[in-house]
Amino acid sequence: MSGSLNPVIFEVIRNRLIAITEEMRVALQSVSGSPTVTEASDFFTGLFTRDGAVASMGFQVAFHAPVSGAFIRHIMSRPGMVVRKGDMFIGNDPYIAALHQNDVQMVAPIFVDDRVIAWAAVEAHETDVGGMDFASWCPKAREVHQEGLRIPCVKLVDGGTMRDDVLEMIVSASRLPALLGLDIRAFIATLNVATDRISELAQRYGFDVINDAMQRVITSSEVRMRARLAELPDGEFHAQDFLEHDGHSNVLYKIDVRISKRADTLTLDFGNSSPQSPGFINATRSGLMGAVAGSILPTLGYDMPWNQGCLAPIEVVAPDGLICTAQFPAPVGSATVEAIWVTANAIMLGLNKMLATAPDYQYRAQGLHAGAMATFNLGGVNQFGEPFGLHLMDPIAAGSAAFPGKDGVNAGGPITSPVSCIADVERNEQVAPLFYFHRKLAADTGGAGRFRGGVSAEVSFTLGGIEQAQALIMTHGVEVPNSQGLSGGWPGATIRQTFGRGAVSNGRLHNGSWETFGPKPGLMLMTNRDVFAVSWQGGGGYGDPLERDPEAVAKDVREGLVGADAAKSVYGVVVNDGLDLEATEKERAKVRLDRVGGAFRSDPERIFQGAPLLSLGDSLGLAKDRRGWHVITKVGYILCTGSTRWRSGAVSVSWRRLPDQFGILLHEDLAATAYYCPASGALLSVDFHFKDAAPPDDAILDLAVLEGCLDGQSRIH
């Protein structure tokens, strides 16, 4: 196959493929008119092998990696669909290959003589593709037919000729036909760039060399991903995340993933997730595969070229009919920011729990970034008298998770799309009828921990230049802390969205009638006397907040990132005029004792003498003596023996409602449980779960394999 490819030529072609993918990005972003593309980078460009495996892709939204491949394979499998030189296909059907209908994609075969050598693909989030509500996110939809136009698989450019009639049909379905039309032109420009460049490359090196090189690029990443997996401990890792409100009622849904890691393979089993919902938050299987790619790539594939090879060692197990494998005709319009986003959260949390148990990867084990992507859409007639539609990108400015050695990034954004950004306030106000009162960092939103999660940004605005418009406000994560922490770190605050009616006069805020919104207030009329104010989720914290350097907490208080109240009740740090170290020590000692009910356990047989052999994150270690393997805390307290199911040995405290200082609101079906070291009061983990179910043990290592590995290592030393 590709064994004979000269390593120098391979590297030359590999770099060229990356350069071409970059050129595709530039073409798309230059021509596109969608802020989702030009600012938020909610798009995808990639080069695929002739079989539809992605060989090279940009750093944009990683969720899209597998989608176009599925689309290409669909085209090839269609009886009667002739693929010719100069053809371009368009599609957005989530039941074929799309995350949701807004994600319109086009692909083009690239020919050398009469053979297809590769495919180019481009996709972008379009603000409106029709459906019952503006922006094609329809909270009241009960089936997919009520949502945006579905284009199954249509030849839009036929042998180099645009089918104007088809184009007209597609853009007519949109409330923003000009915008969609411009973006389709951007797609064509992007595919043209790829076709020209790949053709040139194939002319120079020949069909076989290019084909081999593309296959080898993929193999190369697969080898790297397998090597990475082989370095991680075998075992089962279990994580859950939740999303509330399906558009119809405020039901709580669970995404449950069991990650089994064996040697150099990974199996993700979603079998225990909630069944599909009647509303638009579902994901199809196409969306699930997107979530898998979007979470695996940045978490495990952070240092390797992103392509199909990274996903080859991963098997997905999920029966039909789950919230993440919804069956036709379930509505799926908001899948990307609902079920897909939350599925990716759960996977990333599970993977990070795995990283935390691996000595070489602990430094980068972390909680979750930006666990929700809130939506604010606005439609009507703008200050220029034109029909308009705004999809506000500001909500990606949520906080990033802390690492074991550093705080999370304030307004750091998600890691599933590495290059997203938001527009200037001035730009937004110049082109859209908005008037901001602030865009700033939101205090007390970063997940508490030894290292703090990054705080989120927050905004508040009214309308500018127009009297009124239709607003669509929806999210999850108002009553679910999706940005979970790790190793005792707390999640970032939940989203807080409020609406002040009649709260503006003369460009200033006044007391109006303020309402705190739930997750999905949905469509509403907004006037230029109303204010919408929202803060998003902060990033997850890392480690026990009582172990955070008091100076760092005092600095956070000084800079307005943490309030003095939260400093005391969450971090046990007393800041009056300045840091009061003595009072802090007292406070922290008191909290630790309170955590375990007023008395530390000190039975000598439960205290392990000696050092742990392995660390399992910030607060736990794995130790061994004649009795077998133990999970121990920092003070050596033995939580369990013979397995890593340690939760039963810890002191646990559960909440249905958390103290205000955490900024975390819990859905009525959701509970939080904290686990403490009985001997020291150290916080070991904070878990979120259905109120009537216990949190699962989350990192069950295969101790027999581990033992073998350790023996192997000691022989080498």
| Contact set for other proteins, span 49-68 (CB under 8 A) | 59
Closer residue to other proteins (CB): 427 or 627: 427
Site for other proteins in 554-583 (CB under 8 A): 558-560
Across 221-251, b (16+ Cβ under 10 Å) vs e yields bbbbbbebbeebbbbbbbbbbbbbbbbeebb
- Residues 304 to 343: which contact other proteins by CB under 8 A? 306
108 contacts 119 by C-beta, under 8 angstroms: yes
- Our finding on whether 690 is near other proteins (CB under 8 A) is no
CB of 409 to other proteins, least distance (A): 5
The single residue among 386, 577, 582, 692 that binds other proteins, judged by CB under 8 A, is 386
Residue 250 C-beta: closest distance to other proteins, Å: 31
Pick the piece of the chain touching other proteins (CB under 8 A) from 298-306, 484-492, 512-520, 694-702.
298-306
162: contact with other proteins by CB under 8 A: yes
Total residues binding other proteins (CB under 8 A) = 89
Containing 438, the helix (H) or strand (E) segment is: strand 434-441
Which residue in 115, 145, 438, 656 binds other proteins (CB under 8 A)? 438
Minimum distance from residue 389 beta carbon to other proteins (Å): 10
Q: Which residues contact residue 204 at a Cβ distance below 8 angstroms, ignoring those fewer than 6 apart?
A: none
CB 136 within 8 A of CB 102: yes
Q: How far is CA 141 from the centre of its chain?
A: 24
Query: Contact between 227 and other proteins (CB under 8 A)?
Result: yes
Could you tell me the sign of the dihedral formed by the alpha carbons of 564, 565, 568, 570, in that order? negative
Q: Does 302 engage in binding with other proteins (CB under 8 A)?
A: yes
Q: Return the number of the residue (140 or 155) whose C-beta is nearest other proteins.
A: 155
Sort strands 265-269 and 314-317 into parallel, antiparallel or unpaired: parallel
Taking the complex as a whole, the smallest distance from the CB of residue 37 to other proteins amounts, in Å, to: 9
Minimum CB–partner distance for residue 364 and other proteins (Å): 5
Secondary structure (3-state) at 693: coil
Which region among 46-54, 275-283, 434-442, 698-706 touches other proteins (by CB under 8 A)?
A: 434-442
Cβ proximity of 41 and 420 under 8 Å? yes
Q: Is 611 exposed, middle or buried (0-12, 13-18, 19+ CB in 10 A)?
A: exposed
Among 506, 511, 609, 714, binds other proteins (CB under 8 A): 506
φ, ψ (nearest 5 deg) of residue 37: -90, -50
23 or 580: CB nearest other proteins = 23
Radius of gyration of the chain (CA): 26
**Between 26 and 524, whose beta carbon lies closer to other proteins?**
26
DSSP state of 90: E
Does 5 interact with other proteins (rule: CB under 8 A)?
no
Judged by CB under 8 A, which stretch of 110-118, 143-151, 503-511, 514-522 contacts other proteins? 503-511
Q: Which two tokens stand for residue 235?
A: 């075992």
303 touches other proteins by CB under 8 A:
yes
Residues of span 340-379 touching other proteins by CB under 8 A: 364, 369
Q: Which stretch binds other proteins (CB under 8 A): 24-32, 373-381, 540-548, 568-576?
A: 24-32
Q: Which is nearer to other proteins, 89 or 242 (CB)?
A: 89
- Give min distance, CB of 664 to other proteins, in A: 23
What is the pairing mode between strands 468-474 and 161-162? unpaired
620 with 646: CB under 8 angstroms? yes
The reply to whether 413 sits near other proteins by the rule CB under 8 A is: yes
Q: Name which position in 186, 478, 534, 658 contacts other proteins (CB under 8 A).
A: 186
- Phi, then psi, of 210 in degrees rounded to 5: -65, -45
Residue by residue, DSSP assigns 385-415 as S-EEEEE--GGG--PPPPBTTBPPPTT---S
If you write DSSP's letter for every residue of 249-270 in order, what string do you get?
S--EEEEEEEEEEETTEEEEE-
Hey, which residues between 33 and 52 contact other proteins (CB under 8 A)? 33-35, 38-39
Alpha helices in 497-580 (DSSP H): 550-558, 564-569
Q: Does 422 bind other proteins (CB under 8 A)?
A: yes
**Closest approach of other proteins to the CB of residue 163, in Å:** 13
440 binds other proteins (CB under 8 A): yes
Spatial separation of the C-alpha atoms in residues 497 and 519, rounded to whole Å: 8
Site string for other proteins, 254-293 (x = CB under 8 A): ----------------------------------------
Stretch that binds other proteins, among 65-73, 143-151, 186-194, 311-319 (CB under 8 A): 186-194
- Under the binding rule (CB under 8 A), the answer on residue 400 touching other proteins is yes
We find the least distance from the C-beta atom of residue 23 to other proteins, in angstroms, to be: 6
Cα-based angle 338, 339, 345 (whole degrees, multiple of 5): 90
Smaller CB separation from other proteins, 417 or 641: 417
SS3 143: coil
The reply to whether 390 sits near other proteins by the rule CB under 8 A is no
